[in-house]
Amino acid sequence: MQNVCEMRQVVKRYKEVTALDHFNFEIHEGEIVGLLGPNGSGKSTAINCLLGLLAFDEGGVEVFGRPVSPDDMDMKQRIGFVPQELSFFAELSVADNIRYFAGLYESDNARRDVMVSEAVEFVGLEKYVKFTAKKLSGGLKRRLNIACGIAHHPEFVMFDEPTVAVDAQSRNFILEGIKEMNRRGSTVLYTTHYLEEAQELCDRIVIMDEGKNMASGTLEELIDLVDPTEAVHIAFSEPGDRVFNMIREIPGVVDIQEENNHTVILLTPPGHRLSALLEELKNHHISYTSLHSELPTLNDVFLKLTGKALRD
Amino acid sequence: MRRFFSHAVLHVKLSFRDKGSLFWGFIYPVLLLTLMAVSFSGLKISQERVPIAVEQGSALAGALRGIDILDIRDYQGDAALTALRDKKIDGIYRADGTLLVRGKGMNETILREIGSQLKKVGAAFAAGHSPDFSKGYIARGDQDAGILPVILSASLGMFALYGYFSGVSIVHTIQANLSPLAVRVSTAPVSRLSFVCAGMATGTIMNVLHTVVLLLYLKWVWHVNYLSDIWRTLLLVLVTGFFGAALGLFVGASNRWPIRAKVPLGVALMLVLSAFSGMMGSGFRLFLDKTFPWINRFNPVNIFSRTIYRLNALGTTKDFSEAVLFFLAAGIVLCFVSLLFMRNRRFRSL
Ligand SMILES: Nc1ncnc2c1ncn2[C@@H]1O[C@H](COP(=O)(O)OP(=O)(O)O)[C@@H](O)[C@H]1O
Ligand SMILES: [Mg+2]
C-alpha cells in the first residue's frame, strides 16, 4: 500500500520548546488515522509540517511520496485542511465562504457551484447558506470550517481537532461525515484529544505525547500492548477472606482490590474469563448485590504509556 | 494572475460586507468633515486679509487690487521695507516682478502662489484684459482664503491614504505566519502575487470611491469645491490611494505585530501626518514649516492636501506632476519591498 504521507525522525523546536521529538508516522492510502494526544503534545505542529508551511529542524516529511514544499501546487491541489482555529471570512455568507475556498481549487464556475452545494449538504448547512458566517452558532461555525476545507474533494484531508467546543449533535454529524468521505475515497488524518472519537472513528491510532510517537496501531493492537486486564466490580453480600481466597484460585484472576464498598477483580485476558468467574461464584454459593465489568480502554493504554490520564 | 478575478471579488465583498470598514471608510470621514466644517466655518469670516505693499510700476498692481484676500497698503519708498520688517505687512510685490517676504508661512505661501500664477498669465492679465480669469480666480481665492480649506484638505489627505487598511488586511490574509486564516489560504494552490495584486487593485479603487464620496459631499453640502480640476484631482486621489495601500502592505509584511496593533497604528499615523499638514489648525503647521521644513516636504498627507488645494482652490498645477510621481514611485518601491518581505513561504513559527 502506498504511503499518502510520512514523517521520519522529525524534530521541530520552537525557542525553548521541542514540539516534535524525532517524530515518526505514516498514513496509508484509504486509512483514517487518528493522532491522539493531550493539548500541547505537538499535533498541530505535525500537521503544519505536513502542510509544508512550518520549517522543521531535522528529519523528513513527505506527502504523496514527495518531500513537502510550500511551492508544490500539485500537492496543494490534492490536499484538504480543516484548521483547529476557525478560518473563514466572518463577514461573508456561508455560501460565499465555501464558494471562495472551492474556487481556489476549481476554476470552472459550474463545477465549483456543484462542489459548493455538495459541501453545504455534507455538513448540513442547507438552512444557513445565506447567513453571515459570524452569526452562526459555535457548532455550525465548525461545520462551515469543515465545508471550506473539504469542498474540493481532496484525496488527503487533515482535520485538526474539528470538534473542540462542539455540541454532541454536531459532533456526531461531523464524525459520520468524515467516515462518509473516507468511504468515498479520501484518506484522513484526524487529530484529537478525545479518546472516544479516536476509538470510534479511526482505523489506526497514533498516541502522541511530548512530540513523540508513543505507540500506534489498531485499537486492539494498542490494548494488547499494555498486558491488559478486565476489571469486574462486584459488591458481595458477605465479603471476607473466605470469599477472596476462593476467588484467587480461579484461573485468569490476576489481582483482587478492595474499593470503598465493593471489590474489583482483575481478569486476563480481557473478554474471556467473566463467565468462568460467574460459574465458580455460583458453585460456591457466593451471593452479590451488584456486578459490572469494564473492558480495557484506550485510556488505560494511554495511562500506561505516558503515565498520565487523557481526560479533560 | 491565476484566480485574479475571484480574489478581486472577495476583496470587494469584504469591503462592502464588513460593517467596520464601511463605517471607517464612509461614515466616520463624513462625520469628521462635518464636525470640522461646523466648528471652523465661523473662523473663515474672521480670517484677516493678507497685508501687502505693491511697488509703484509693478505690472501686477492692477490684478492684485482685484483680489479680495489681499489688503494692499500704500507706502512711499523705503517705508514699505520698514513695514515688512516691523511685520505690518507680509510681503512686497516689487516693480521688477519679484516678491519680497519675511519668512515661510501660510500668508507667504499664499502670496507666492498668487505671484507665480499671475506671472504665468502675464501681460494680458496685467493689462486687465482677462476679466473672466480674474473673476474665477478671485472667487476661488475668496472661497478658500480661510482656515477651513486648510483643515478640510488636510483631513481629506488623511482619508485619501486610508487604502492603508486594505494593504494591511491583504498581507494578513495571505502570509501564513500572520493569521490562522492565512494558514488556511496558504494551503490552497494560490498565487500570492495574484492575490496581492487583486487586493491592491480593489483596495485602491475602493479608496478612490471613498474619497470621491467625500469630495462630492464637500462640494454639495459645504460648497467647498475640490473637484474643479476634476481629472487631475481624480488622478491625484488614485495615486494617493495606491500609495496608502502600498504603505499598508509594507507595514503588514515587515513585522509580525497582530492586526489589532497595525490598524490603530495606521489610524494614529494618519492623524499625526494630517495634524502636521494643518488639520488641527494652521498654527502647528506653520511652526513645523519653520522648524522642520523637511517633514511636510515628505509628508504624504501634506503633499496630497497641498496639491489638491492648489489644483482646485488656486487653480494652479504647480507641483502636481511631482506629487503624482512621488506617490507612484514611493508606492511601487513599498510594494516591491513588501513582496521581498513576503518571499518567505515556510516559517519557523506559525
Ligand atoms: N508558534 C509557536 N511558538 C512557540 N511555541 C509553540 C508555537 N506553537 C506551538 N508551540 C508549542 O509547541 C508545543 C506543541 O504545540 P501544538 O503543536 O500546538 O500542540 P497540540 O496541537 O497537540 O495542542 C506546545 O508546547 C506549544 O506550546
Ligand atoms: Mg493543536
User: What pLDDT score does B41 carry?
Assistant: 63
Task: Report the alpha-carbon distance of residue A266 to residue A229 in Å, rounded.
Answer: 6
What was the pLDDT predicted at B48?
60
Cell representation of residue A202: 479511526
Q: Amino acid identity of B280?
A: M
Mean pLDDT, rounded, for A154-158:
97
Residues B176-189 have a mean pLDDT of: 95
Report CA-CA distances (Å) from A146 to A82, A100, B43, B96, B107: 6, 14, 60, 79, 64
| pLDDT at residue A305 in the model | 82
Instruction: Identify the CA nearest to B278 among candidates B308, B247, B301.
Output: B301
Q: Does A85 touch chain B (CB under 8 A)?
A: yes
State the amino acid at position A3 in one-letter form. N
Residue located nearest, by CA, to atom 25 of ligand 1: A40
Kindly report, residue by residue over B95-150, the tens digit of the pLDDT.
Answer: 887 888 887 777 787 788 777 777 766 544 444 443 333 333 333 333 334 677 77
pLDDT at B126: 44
B39 vs B157, which has greater pLDDT? B157
The ligand 1 atom at the shortest distance from the C-alpha of residue A15 is: 4
Lowest-pLDDT range of A266-275, B134-143, B311-320: B134-143
Look at B43 and A246; give whichever has higher pLDDT: A246
Are residues A54 and B347, on separate chains, in Cβ contact within 8 Å?
A: yes
Closest CA to B68 of B149, B144, B146, B141: B141
Which of A53, A86, A132 has its CB closest to that of B350?
A53
Please tell me which residue, B64 or B236, carries the higher pLDDT value: B236
The CATH number for A229-295, chosen from 3.30.70.100, 3.40.50.150, 3.40.50.620, 3.40.800.20, is 3.30.70.100
Any B CB within 8 A of A144 CB: no
pLDDT at B42: 53
* Domain layout of chain A by residue ranges: 3-224, 229-295
Reported as a single tens digit per residue, the pLDDT across A76-94 is: 999 999 999 999 999 999 9
Q: Per 3-state DSSP, what percentage of chain A is helix, strand, and coil (rounded to 5)? A: 35, 30, 35
What average pLDDT does range A63-76 have in this prediction? 93
Examine the predicted complex and report whether its ipTM is higher than 0.90.
no
The Cα B259–Cα B237 span in angstroms is 26
Q: What is the per-residue pLDDT for B1? A: 60
Tell me the per-residue pLDDT of B254-306, one tens digit each, with 9 for 90 and over: 999 998 899 999 989 999 999 888 887 777 777 887 888 888 889 999 999 98
Please report how many Cα atoms fall inside a 13 Å half-sphere around the Cα of residue B155, on the Cβ side. 23
Of A43-52, A275-284, B14-23, B65-74, highest mean pLDDT: A43-52
Q: How far is the CA of A14 from the centre of ligand 1 (A)?
A: 8
- Is the pLDDT higher at A18 or at B76? A18
The mean predicted confidence, pLDDT, of chain B is 83
Superfamily (CATH H level) for A3-224: P-loop containing nucleotide triphosphate hydrolases (3.40.50.300)
Q: How far apart are CA A190 and CA B297, in angstroms?
A: 58
Report how far ligand 2's centroid is from the alpha carbon of A45 (Å). Answer: 7
Give the contacts of A304 (CB within 8 A, at least 6 positions apart): A225, A226
- Is A113's Cβ below 8 Å from some Cβ in B? no
Neighboring chain B residues of A52 at a CB cutoff of 8 Å: 346
Percent of chain B with pLDDT over 70: 88
Q: How sure is the predictor about A311, in pLDDT bands with cuts at 50, 70 and 90?
A: low
Q: Measured between CB atoms, does A289 come within 8 Å of chain B?
A: no
- Domain range annotation of chain B: 2-41+148-341, 47-126
Confidence band for B19, pLDDT divided at 50, 70 and 90: confident
CB A265 within 8 A of CB A232: yes
Residues of B with CB below 8 A from A96's CB?
Answer: 13
* Whether A14 contacts chain B with CB within 8 A: yes
Please tell me the predicted confidence (pLDDT) of residue A299.
80
User: Is B104 an interface residue toward A (CB < 8 Å)?
Assistant: no
Chain centre distance of CA A108 = 35
The candidate with the shortest Cα–Cα distance to A204, out of A307, A298, A77, is A298
Q: What distance in Å separates the CA atoms of residue A22 and residue A12, rounded to the nearest whole number?
A: 8
What share of residues in chain B are helix, strand, coil (percent, to 5)? Answer: 70, 5, 25
Nearest to B170, CA basis, from B251, B236, B271, B239: B251
The proportion of chain B whose per-residue pLDDT surpasses 90, expressed as a percent, equals: 39
The CA distance from A175 to the nearest CA of chain B, in Å, is 21
Residue A39 Cα: closest atom of ligand 1: 23
Is B190 within 8 Å of chain A by CB?
Answer: yes
Q: What is the pLDDT of residue A78?
A: 96
Instruction: Check residue A250 and give its pLDDT.
Output: 85
Average pLDDT over residues B55-72: 77
For residue A48, name the pLDDT band (cuts at 50, 70, 90).
very high
Pocket of ligand 1 (CB under 6 A): A 14, 17, 19, 37, 39-45; B 349-350
The reported pLDDT for the residue numbered B124 is 46
More confident residue, A244 or A118: A118
Specify the pLDDT at position B47: 45
Name the pLDDT band for A12 (thresholds 50, 70, 90).
Answer: very high
Integer Cα distance of B43 and B29 in angstroms: 21
Chain A residue with Cα closest to B345: A70
User: What distance lies between CA A203 and its chain's CA centroid?
Assistant: 10
Shortest CA distance from B180: residue in chain A: A87
Average pLDDT for A63-83: 94
By C-alpha distance, the chain B residue nearest A53 is B346
**Spatial distance between the Cα atoms of B47 and B45, rounded to a whole number of angstroms:** 5
**pLDDT at B197 (0 to 100):** 95
C-alpha cell at A107: 476554476
Residue nearest to atom 26 of ligand 1 (CA): A40
How close B189 comes to chain A (CA, Å)? 5
pLDDT at position A160, please?
A: 96
> Which residue on chain B is closest to A82 by alpha carbon?
B184
Q: Are the C-beta atoms of residues A31 and A204 closer than 8 Å to each other?
A: yes
pLDDT in tens, B193-208: 999 999 999 999 999 9
Q: How far is the CA of A311 from the centre of ligand 1 (A)?
A: 19
The verdict on a CB contact (< 8 Å) between B180 and A89 is: no
